[in-house]
Amino acid sequence: MFKSEPMSNTSALSATNAPYIEVNNLNLTIGGNQLLHDISVTSFTPGVTMVMGPNGAGKSLFLRCLHGLLIPTSGSIRLLNKPHEATTASQSMVFQKAVLLRRNVIKNLEFAAPNGTPPTEITELLAKVHLNGKELQPARLLSGGEQQRLALARSLLTKPRLLLLDEPTASLDPASVLIIERLISEATEQGVKCIFISHDLGQAKRLGADIIFLHQGRLAEHTDAETFFTSPQSREAKAYLNGEIVL
């Protein structure tokens, strides 16, 4: 079911007939520098697709292309088996540094909530991210972990079918990480597809169904998570998992 090149692998993961992610020959050049090189990756895997790779590998740029924030120089993107323009409305991205409105916690959520969202839904979500009691606090005065939890709650309120997460738990304490991972697992159990950048190997093992491994702007490997962690195929992934520097 993995059709990516190079270093692809088949697995026993549950599959659907239509790919969730279909990227063909994606190239991105900014200011004369080619930053993403001919990335082709097809994933039929539901749940969480992890995007991994060393600093500067191109993970955030790749995710931004998937979210329509950067237009590739060439190549095509199809997500959830629909033309890209059709999916961007049903996808939501959480950035490594939460982008919040200069308003209080509850107003941040109300602003994002689709018309007709019952107030109880907002209250329940606030409790799930352990921010009940902080409704009236200015969002920008929340701690880093609290801001990330609010950003995820806000994304979930929009009921995305595809959730893109750029290191949403980097530098958070274990309790905040757990809260976010639980919410993501809950969302994927309800059918939300998730593409998640992380450097945290434990987290990738806990959540990942398949792994896209980037290195120097290129796809080094795309395999199911079990294969990736037990017998990575690419030299770059092997070195990364061994804690060697793979710049």
Ligand X SMILES: Nc1ncnc2c1ncn2[C@@H]1O[C@H](COP(=O)(O)OP(=O)(O)OP(=O)(O)O)[C@@H](O)[C@H]1O
Q: Which is nearer to ligand X, 35 or 80 (CB)?
A: 35
Q: By rule CB under 6 A, what count of residues binds ligand X? A: 12
Count of Cβ atoms closer than 10 Å to residue 68 Cβ: 16
Q: Which is nearer to ligand X, 161 or 199 (CB)?
A: 199
Q: Which is nearer to ligand X, 26 or 105 (CB)?
A: 26
Here the tokens at position 153 are 């709650």
Contact 46, 161 (CB under 8 A): no
Here the tokens at position 70 are 């950067």
Q: Which is nearer to Mg ion, 146 or 166 (CB)?
A: 166
Q: Which of residues 24-83 bind ligand X (CB under 6 A)?
A: 30-31, 33, 35, 53, 55-61
User: Is residue 202 involved in binding ligand X (CB under 6 A)?
Assistant: no
Distance CA 189, CA 94 (A): 19
Minimum separation from the CB atom of position 52 to Mg ion (A): 11
Question: Position of tokens 């994002």?
Answer: 112
User: Is residue 144 involved in binding ligand X (CB under 6 A)?
Assistant: no
User: Is residue 60 involved in binding Mg ion (CB under 5 A)?
Assistant: yes
Pick what 61 binds: ligand X, Mg ion, none; C-beta below 5 to 8 Å, kind-dependent: ligand X
Contact 79, 91 (CB under 8 A): yes
Minimum separation from the CB atom of position 26 to ligand X (A): 13
β-bridge mates for residue 214, sequence order: 219
CA dihedral in degrees (228, 186, 85, 4; nearest 10)? 10
Please name the residues in contact with 174: beta carbons below 8 A apart, sequence gap of 6 or more.
Answer: none
Minimum separation from the CB atom of position 61 to ligand X (A): 4
Minimum separation from the CB atom of position 33 to ligand X (A): 5
Which positions touch ligand X (CB under 6 A)?
A: 30-31, 33, 35, 53, 55-61
